Every structure is written in structure tokens, then in C-alpha cells.
Chain A
Amino acid sequence: MSNDPGESTAESAPFSATLLPYARSRLDAFLAEIRRLKQSEFPYDDSEAALDAVAVYFESFLASLELLSKSTDAALIQNQCSLSLRALQAHLPILGLILRSTNVRNSFEVVAPLKRLAEEVLGSTTGPTVPVKLVLSSEWDYFPFTYKGVPALPEYVMIGLPASESPNPLLVPLAGHELGHAFWTRDLDLAKQLKSRAKTHVMKIISDRWEEFVRISPSGKVNEKGEALDDAVLMAVWQPALEWAAHQCEELFCDFLGLRLFGGSFYWSMIYLLSPGFRSRNLGYPDIRGRAEHLTQCGRVFGVAAPDRYAEYFEPEEEAQLAEADRFRLSVADEARRQMVPHLIALVAEKFASKSTEAECDRIRRCFDRRVPSTGVASIVDIVNAGWRAFHDPNLWPKMPAPKDRHRLLSELVLKSFEVYEIEQILSTP
């Protein structure tokens, strides 16, 4: 018996006969794990409902495999088994995220108010209105992130904050960045338009740096300036630059949205979590200094002043070790992204309203001075901003000398304020 899946249907029949029970068994095990996880204590319905939705998705896979038999065409069996395998690979980490969302280390008081904010933000996508469900979890990965476009959970926003910081409510603004990704995923027109605009910039930059482009292109393929950039071979030369530029633009869009929604606390959350930096660069992101400079530029437009010498909180990253062609592509992507910044800022300003008000922030801050949570708050953003101000105040609770005690009490006050906000929202609903 051959183990080569590429062989003809007749010869691979016994091989397929093995594949099928293996695939069924894997799905059974996955569904059993979901049933086990369902026994957890779920603080919020969305996490539990996510498990149900994933189970339904995989039951349909199992049902489709049940329809196949040894006599089914081997290619079809392989295809179905392959699909189910890839789905398992994509969804297993999601189960982990859902499980961790039930851990009491998480700030559960944040979930309902953040969901309200998510509904508001995602309600303004141009696509069909999809109800928002939120899973806020903690991750064993330092960088906050969101799972995008999970097939079984199209309506879900899933945000993971680093486990060690998940009790820290002052980092909620970083969820604003992750909401940006959810918006980007849902609003397909936006992503398409921005990529098209980025492409225009990439093409113009390549045209301006034609000799360099010719040098990295296959010899004899390019003659005249600007010639046949849509040729399949040449596309392969510049396409990575566009992909990097588009991804960097998405990250900046999310940063600008975070700043728009959360105001000054977004700057401090970023400093807290990311400064002085990690030295090496992820090419899908702007370099960290550039990112900070763009945020400063954006803040000037939004009327949210950045902390003094904001970009200097982050040390420059080391140059990535790239071949000449990739170095060129990266520099093109970086330049295209820089040129996109004014448009991205204008776009975020047009689509989203600022949530922060100075007077409210001051009022809440005075509540914290008296060691009481705030009431009658219009937006959770003001609570977080007031929290950051209190955090930076050296005269906060002078009788309490240990910073650890002060920070703990401040976290408690911010989280209790979130809870009071949610109670007021519930009670004000007729």
C-alpha cells in the first residue's frame, strides 16, 4: 500500500479508507472537548454561545464525512478530510481563547461596556448589519490580538490581552485597536478601497525608483518605465510591497481608531505595553518609532496631544536582514504607508466620533481622589482616561505610600466604575 496521497484514485482507495475513520475520530475528539469545555462556568453568555456555534460548525463537517464511504471517490474523500483537518487547525486555538475567557483573572466588569462600544463602532460598517458578540480573554502571548474572520464565528469579536495584564483595566484602550481589526474585517469595501489606494502609491513610488525596480526584476522582463506592471511575472516582484503596505495601513487604521475612541489613554497604554520596544521589526507593522510618530500626527488632527517626545519612548528597531529585493520592497511599502497616513486619519475622523470629554474626565478623577467609583458616566472612555490621570499623579492618596497599593486601589475603582456604568445602562433601558 502506498502512502502517497497524490496517486490515482484506484490505487489510493485503501489509503482513503484509512483517512476517513481518522478524520471522523479527530472530529469526534474535538466535539468531545467542546462538550467538556461546556462544563466550565461562563461569566458571560457570548463565550458559551461561541462554543455552541463551533460545535454546530464541526457537527456539519462530521455529518458530511458520515455521508462518505469506502466506495466514494478517493479524491472527494481526501478533499473532505483535508477541509476538516484545516478547520480543526484553525479552530483549536479558538477553544483555548474561549476557555481562558472564563478565568477569574480577567476583568469581567469590562466585558459588557466594551461590547456596547463594539456594537457602536461595528454598527457603522458599510456591510450588512451583523449582531456583535464579544469574547474578551487572556492570552499566553504578550501582544494583544484578535482572531479575524473565524468561519464558525462570523459575528464574534475575540480579543486576547496578555494574561499578566488582563486584570489591568487601564489597558482597555488597546481593545480599541483590536476593534479596528474587527471593523476592517467586516467592512470589505473599506479594505478593498484602501488597498487600491495603496496600490496607486506603490506604483507611483516604483515609477519614481524605476532603476532599482529594474535591478530586482527578472532580466529582460522590463524595458520601458512603467511598462506592464500588471504582467504576472512583474506582479510577483512588487506584490509583496503592496501586501506589506496594506497590512501596515490596517495597523495604522486600528491605531487611529484606538486613539479616536480612547483619546490620550491610548498613548499611555501603548507606552505601558510596548516601550521601549522589542528591537526586531514585524514587517506587517510600521516600525515602532514611525508608528508613534504617525500617532502623534493623528493626535494633532484629533486634538489629543501626545505625551512629550512620545516617539522617543520607543527605541529604534534593528534593520531586518533582507535580501536586496526585499529591502527595496519594504522601503516602497514604508513610503506608501507614510503617504497614506493623512487619508487614514481623515477616514477615521469622518467615520467615528471622539468619546472622551475633558470635563467628565475631571469629574471622575475627583471621585477617584475620594476613593469612590464614578456614577452617571456617559462613556467608559472617560473612566479610563481619568484612571490614567490618577495613575500619573504623584500626589494621589499621599497617605498611601506604596505604589503597589495605590495601583491596586485605582484598578478596583476603575473596574467598579465600569460595573456602575453598566448597571446604569441596564436600569435606564425601558
Chain B
Amino acid sequence: MLLTAARIAELLAIGATPDAEDPLVITPQLCRLDRSGASVDFRLGSWFMNLRQSRMTHLDIAKKTEKPAQLTKTNFVPFGKYYVLHPGDFVLGVTLEWLRLPSMMGAYVIGRSSWGRRGLIIATATGVHPGFVGTLTLELSNVGEIPVKIYPGMSICQLFLHTVERGKNETFDDSRFVGFRKPVLGEIERDDVADKLARIKKEKEP
């Protein structure tokens, strides 16, 4: 069930008490919750990560040999300064807010339409799993025709929160979420089906 802004505000207030168990926490909580809506705004953080174009001929998504540190370059932009996203540019950003989701709550990150209409795409409906902790990595790209300046601290996206239904004897392990304050490239999971299909194709080749 999608949570209203008023309900999110209630849960955040409960989460702020020190003894709350499995709380919803957004830190720092700088955006006002629009009481008539059903989302919470998030702001842009200071860390950015882009791909080292000058070092790569291409990305081979199927191969797991790639090392994020070799592929990417990290930038820090303090408050008061900006990052220019040129037309066609793609950069990973991060939310200023650190999110902690309870085990019974999931979320979706949605870009702001006012930005999208100006060519700045924030994320492609990124799903956030229950129990997540950390800042959210954003995929920022400028599909417009003029450069866009983005500033750490500006409101950049919105989060829609919903409750999660769990099976009767289902247990929940949130230990895989070791939060990050910087954007994360993430690893591409091994895809056995794709591997097998690729092998068959190879065997059939003359």
C-alpha cells in the first residue's frame, strides 16, 4: 500500500525516538512533506561518479572482470559549488539523505517532472528493497540540448514508500545492506541462463 505524506511524517516521528524498533529514518530530514501528496522529496548529495571514457573501448556487461575503481572516477562537489551536466552526459549522483527502510517497507525513486521537462533525467523508477540503509545512487543524465548546472543540496527526486507483504514463515535478513555515502556502481550478478545461451551459440558457430 502506498503511504501518504502524512503517514510518512508519522513514521519518521516515531523513527526519531531512540528506542524505536526497526524504524523508518531519513537523515537529514530537510524536505517538507507535502501533506496532500504521497511522496517525500530527496536532495542531491556532494559525491559524483562518472565512467573513465578515456580508458575504455567499451563496457562488456556480460564479463565480470571489470573493477569499479578502474572504470570510474569520483568527484566531490561541496555545497555552494556545482556540477555541469552537458547534453548527452551521464553521471552517478547520490542523495544527500541517508535512508533506513524498515523490513516491512519498500520504495521507488522517481525523478521530478520539473527537471525531466528540462532534459534532466534522475532515475528510472529505481526500486529500493526493504531493510535498505544508505544514500541512494541516482543515475543522472542530460537528454536535453543545453547544459544543466546541478547543485548539491538541491531537491532532486522523490521517494514513494509502500508497505511490503511477507509470507507466513518468511524471515528477513537485512545484513546485506552495508550503506554507502557515495554513489555505487554495483556488481552485475552472474546470469547462468545468459551464459548457457551464449555457449550454445558459440558451439553452433562454424
Question: Contact residues of A with B, CB < 8 Å?
Answer: 41, 43-44, 104, 108-109, 112, 363, 366, 370-375, 397, 399-400, 405, 408-409, 412-413, 415-416, 419-420, 423-424, 426-427
* Residues of the B chain whose Cβ atoms lie less than 8 Å from the Cβ of A412: 134, 179-181
Known: A366-B18, A372-B100, A423-B30. A405 touches B178 (CB 8 A): yes
Alpha-carbon separation in the docked complex, A109 to B98 (Å): 14
Q: B76: which of A43, A374, A400, A416 is its contact (CB, 8 Å)?
A: A43
User: B116 within 8 Å of A by Cβ?
Assistant: no
The answer, yes or no, to whether B124 is at the interface (CB within 8 Å) is no
Flag whether B46 is at the interface (Cβ < 8 A). yes
10 additional A-B residue pairs with CB within 8 Å, beyond A41-B75, A371-B177? A104-B74, A104-B75, A370-B23, A372-B27, A373-B98, A397-B175, A412-B181, A415-B181, A416-B181, A427-B30
Q: Does B159 contact A (CB under 8 A)?
A: no
Of A370, A423, A424, A426, the residue contacting B25 (CB under 8 A) is: A370
Nearest-CB distance from B117 to chain A (Å)? 29
Assembly CA distance A157 to B98 (angstroms): 31
Contacts of A375 in B (CB 8 A): 27-29
How far is it, in angstroms, between the C-alpha of A423 and the C-alpha of B44 when the chains are bound? 13
How many Å from the CB of A399 to the closest CB on chain B? 4
CB-based contact A363/B173 at 8 Å:
no
- The A contact surface, by secondary structure, is helix
Contact between B173 and A416, CB atoms less than 8 A apart: no
In the complex, whether B8 has a CB less than 8 A from a CB of chain A is: no
Instruction: Count contacts on B: residues with CB < 8 A to the other chain.
Output: 28
Report the Cα distance A374→B29, complex, angstroms: 12
Q: Which residues of B contact A44 (CB under 8 A)?
A: 78
Could you name 19 residue pairs across A and B whose Cβ atoms are closer than 8 Å? A43-B78, A104-B74, A109-B181, A370-B25, A370-B100, A371-B177, A371-B179, A372-B27, A397-B175, A400-B175, A405-B178, A409-B178, A412-B179, A415-B181, A416-B98, A416-B135, A419-B181, A423-B30, A423-B79
Q: Quick check: A424 and B28 within 8 Å, CB to CB? A: yes
Q: In this assembly, does B133 line the interface, its C-beta being within 8 Å of a C-beta of chain A?
A: yes
Question: From residue B120, how far is it (CB to closest CB) to chain A in Å?
Answer: 22
**Residues of B at under 8 Å CB distance from A?**
18, 23, 25, 27-30, 46, 74-79, 96, 98, 100, 133-135, 173-175, 177-181
Interface of B is mostly: loop
Whether B27 pairs with A426 at a CB distance below 8 angstroms is no
Chain B residues with CB below 8 A from A363, complex form? 18
Q: Closest residue of chain B to A422, judged by CB?
A: B79
Contact B173 A108 (CB under 8 A): no
A373 CB, min distance to chain B CBs, angstroms:
5
Nearest B residue to A399 via CB reads B175
Contact B178 A413 (CB under 8 A): no
Check B28–A408 contact: CB distance below 8 A.
no
Q: A363-B18, A416-B181 are in contact. Are A104 and B76 (CB under 8 A)?
A: yes
CB atoms of B28 and A420 under 8 A apart: yes
Point out which of B18, B79, B180, B181 has the most chain A C-beta atoms below 10 A from its C-beta. B181
Chain A residues near B30 (CB, 8 Å)?
423, 427
Whether B175 contacts A371 by the Cβ 8 Å rule is no
Cβ of A329 to closest chain B Cβ, rounded Å: 49
Distance, CA A363 to CA B79, complexed state (A): 28
Name the CB-closest residue of A to B49.
A104
Which residues on the B side are within 8 Å of A397 (C-beta)?
175
Residues on A with C-beta less than 8 A from B79 are 423, 426
Residues on the B chain within 8 Å of A370, using CB: 23, 25, 100
**A108 contacts B27, C-beta separation under 8 Å:** no
A residues in contact with B23, CB < 8 Å = 370
Complex contacts, A423 vs chain B, CB 8 Å: 28, 30, 79, 96
List of 4 A-B pairs having minimum Cβ-Cβ separation, nearest first: A399-B175, A371-B133, A372-B25, A104-B74
Is the Cβ of A420 less than 8 Å from the Cβ of B27? yes
- For A105, give the chain B residue with the smallest CB separation: B74
- Residues of chain B within 8 A (CB-CB) of A109 are 181
Q: How far is the CA of A41 from the CA of B50 in the complex (A)?
A: 15
Please give, as numbers and ranges, the residues of chain A lying within 8 Å of B75 by CB-CB distance: 41, 104
B27 touches A408 (CB 8 A): no
Check B76 against A399 for contact (C-beta < 8 Å): no
**Cα separation A378 to B190 with both chains bound (whole Å):** 46
B22's nearest neighbour on chain A, judged by CB, is: A370
Contact across chains for A408 and B98 when beta carbons are under 8 A apart: no
Shortest distance from the beta carbon of B152 to any chain A beta carbon, whole Å: 10
Beta-carbon nearest neighbor of B79 in chain A: A426
Contacts of B27 in A (CB 8 A): 372-375, 416, 420
- Please give, as numbers and ranges, the residues of chain A lying within 8 Å of B134 by CB-CB distance: 412
Task: Please report the C-alpha to C-alpha distance between residue A372 and residue B30 in the assembled complex, in whole angstroms.
Answer: 16
Residue of B nearest to A408 (CB): B178
Residues of B near A43 (CB, < 8 A) are 76-78
A401 to nearest B CB, angstroms? 8
> B155: shortest Cβ distance to chain A, in Å?
14
Contacts of A371 in B (CB 8 A): 100, 133, 177, 179
**A299: min CB distance to chain B, Å:** 29
Please name all residues of chain B whose beta carbon is closer than 8 Å to the beta carbon of A108 when the two chains form the complex: 46, 76, 78
Closest beta carbon of chain B to A243's beta carbon, Å: 42
A41–B83 CA distance with the chains assembled, in angstroms: 11
Min distance, Cβ A414 to any Cβ of chain B, angstroms:
10
In the complex, what's the smallest C-beta–C-beta distance from B138 to chain A, in angstroms? 16
Give the complex CA separation of A409 and B78 in angstroms: 22
A69 to chain B, nearest CB (A): 46
Contact between chains at B179 and A413 (CB < 8 Å): yes
